[in-house]
Amino acid sequence: MNTQVSRRTTAQQVLERLREHILDGDYPPGAKLDETSVAKELGVSRTPLREALFGLERDGLLTHEPFRGRIVARNDDAAVAEIFPILGALEALAVRMSGAYPPETLSKLDDVNRRITEPGVSPGLRHGFDQAWHQTLVADCGNPRLIELIERHRAIAARHDGGEARGMADAPGSTADHAEIVEALRDRRNDDAAALLERHWNDGVAVVAEWRAQAAKQEKKST
Amino acid sequence: MNTQVSRRTTAQQVLERLREHILDGDYPPGAKLDETSVAKELGVSRTPLREALFGLERDGLLTHEPFRGRIVARNDDAAVAEIFPILGALEALAVRMSGAYPPETLSKLDDVNRRITEPGVSPGLRHGFDQAWHQTLVADCGNPRLIELIERHRAIAARHDGGEARGMADAPGSTADHAEIVEALRDRRNDDAAALLERHWNDGVAVVAEWRAQAAKQEKKST
DNA sequence: CATGTGCACATTGTACACAATATGCAAACG
DNA sequence: CGTTTGCATATTGTGTACAATGTGCACATG
């Protein structure tokens, strides 16, 4: 069916496409992945699909129960409480390993951070800017493995659980944290920035939990 | 061929067995994994084997080039330089997240550390004790995801590269570090212990590089 | 009416067959 | 003599068939 011109294998492509779909919320947390349907949907047979599923499962994006199917991993408060501190430690390390941040990087960080708070941007976009900010922060640490690891964990933790509860991170405190961190970096106080960053992620656990509780309450009201 | 009584799937079992083999050095870094041979060796068909391989690849234990096969991941100086700091940050986090270490855990740590230096133990065993020490250190941090993550990275970094260059970590400085860390933990100074631990791993990069250079020199002499 | 049992169906797991690609060698060519 | 081209062979990638297991419902039974 496919003419196989690519250098990448079907399973690899499927893995990446599925990953994107999960991150975009097309397959939300808790959704069951029916092999036959998904295979048909992507136009491949079950064999490469299953190989991709195995990889994603190993990434922590899927959970698997033998003979009962695969589920997109939940991202509940418990998961956040486990992952956010890990991200804090890893990004802090990346900041410490980075040298002096060049002016253009610093202004990019400021710029992106400013856009997070700009009025009129959709919550989804705001969330995207937040992601971009963190990505820029660690991009030049010189440890590709670390970057990849951070990326994977952010992928797990960044998805919205609880049935498309939108509204994410208006985060008045969050952008203030970001600004403070950039300021430290401008002064070449990377260690201080790292410490702030770690606290930022740890605070995030409570922030997300609070925000979700609010969203759940609103959800109930509108029913 | 198999009566399939187990609750775990063949692919999962194969993944774990292969993982053990790789960690034990039965498949040393750089070894090519021929699918047909390995499948025959483990008594399964290629399908579940390939699924397992995909998982291990995602773990970073294997590298893959389309149509050219899979290789057990190298663990050269570059890899060590990337992974050791990550392990340092993660284990430091685990120590900080742990509460007060109970006396029995502290004496276990002391005990295991003592065995590392005991004369007459094989290098392999010594290495095993070192692993056990670090495992005990993080076991009660209360973050299973973190423990799993540490375990996986230790799996990658703990393998001996460069053709079974044995002799590992006599580490006179290493056990001294361990002792100092336990002392800090006894005083409930977890943050100090965490900082020491991070330095311990960072120093490890140079130690391993040095040790390997020596081993390589000896290798050449005996040829 | 509640509960348990067994069968039909759906879905996942495994094996195998075939297709696509890489590799090594031998012969042709300059 | 070195280089290149083309084929034979080995290995990996994908599709498909079949086996094993879980699920839900109808029906019997107390």
Measured between CA atoms, the residue of chain A closest to residue B144 is A82
Average confidence (pLDDT) over A95-111: 98
Protein footprint on strand D: which nucleotides are under 7 Å from a CB?
11-17, 20-23
**Cα A187 from Cα A191, distance rounded (Å):** 11
CA A153 to C1' C10, whole Å: 35
**Residue A46 CB in 7 A reach of strand D:** yes
CATH placement of domain B77-221: 1.20.120.530
User: Please, which residues have CB within 8 angstroms of residue A181's CB and are 6 or more apart in sequence?
Assistant: A137, A193, A196, A197, A200
B50 neighbourhood in chain A, CB within 8 Å: 51
Residue B32 pLDDT grade (very low, low, confident, very high; cuts 50, 70, 90)? very high
- The chain B residue lying nearest A11, using CA atoms, is B54
Domain ranges across chain A:
10-72, 77-221
Flag whether residue B13 sits within 8 Å of chain A, measured between CB atoms: no
In this predicted structure, what is the pLDDT of residue A37? Answer: 97
Query: A9 CA to chain B: closest CA distance, Å?
Result: 6
Mean pLDDT of B97-121: 94
Nucleotide nearest to A8 (CA to C1'): D13
Q: How far apart are CA B206 and CA B212, in angstroms?
A: 10
Distance A1 CA to D27 C1' (A): 47
Q: How far apart are CA B214 and CA B220, in angstroms?
A: 10
Tokens 């899979």 locate to: B70
Structure confidence at residue B160 (pLDDT)? 82
Higher-confidence position of B220 and B209 = B209
Measure Cα distances from B35 to A8, A72, B25 in Å: 19, 29, 18
Percent of chain B with pLDDT over 90: 76
- Please state whether strand C lies within 7 Å of residue A2 at its CB atom: no
| Tens of pLDDT, residues A6-15 | 579 999 999 9
| Mean pLDDT over each residue of chain A, to the nearest integer | 90
pLDDT at A18: 97
Query: Do the chains contact at B52 and A47, CB–CB below 8 Å?
Result: no
Quote the pLDDT of residue A214. Answer: 80
For the stretch A1-10, contacts whose Cβ atoms lie closer than 8 Å and that sit 24 or more positions apart, written own/partner, are A1/A43, A2/A43, A2/A44, A7/B66, A8/B66, A9/A48, A9/B66, A10/A44, A10/A48
Q: Please report, rounded to whole angstroms, the spatial distance between the CA atom of protein residue B149 and the C1' atom of nucleotide C10.
A: 36
DSSP, collapsed to helix, strand or coil, labels residue B33 as strand
Structure-token pair, residue B200 = 């311990």
pLDDT confidence of residue B172: 72
Chain A touched by B147 (CB under 8 Å): no
Burial category of B175 from C-beta neighbours within 10 Å (exposed 0-12, middle 13-18, buried 19 and up): buried
Res B216 pLDDT > 90:
no
Find tokens 């047979």 and name the residue.
A45
CB of B90 within 8 Å of any CB in chain A? yes
Distance CA(B169)–CA(B131), nearest Å, equals: 11
Q: In 3-state terms, what secondary structure has residue A97? A: helix
| Residue A171's pLDDT band (cuts 50, 70, 90) | low
User: How would CATH label the architecture of A10-72?
Assistant: Orthogonal Bundle (1.10)
Q: What is the pLDDT of residue B142?
A: 98
pLDDT range class, residue A16, cuts 50, 70, 90: very high
For residue A158, give the 3-state DSSP assignment: coil
| CA torsion angle B89 B90 B91 B97 (round to 10) | 110
Please check whether residue A31 is in contact with residue A163, taking contact to mean a CB–CB distance below 8 angstroms. Answer: no
The answer to whether strand D lies under 7 Å from the CB of residue A47 is yes
- Measured CA to CA, the distance from residue A18 to residue A27 in angstroms comes to 9
Which among B21, B15, B24 is positioned nearest to B59, based on CA atoms?
B15
User: Residue length, chain B?
Assistant: 223
pLDDT digits (tens, 9 = 90+) for B41-84: 999 999 999 999 999 999 999 999 999 999 999 999 999 999 99
Q: What is the mean pLDDT of residues B148-168?
A: 79
Residue A63, helix vs strand vs coil: strand
Give me the mean pLDDT over the A84-106 stretch.
98
Each residue's pLDDT tens digit, A185-210: 999 999 999 999 999 999 999 988 88
Phi-psi region of A67 (alpha: psi -120 to 50; beta: other; left: phi over 0): left
Q: How many A-B residue pairs are in contact by the CB < 8 A criterion?
A: 75
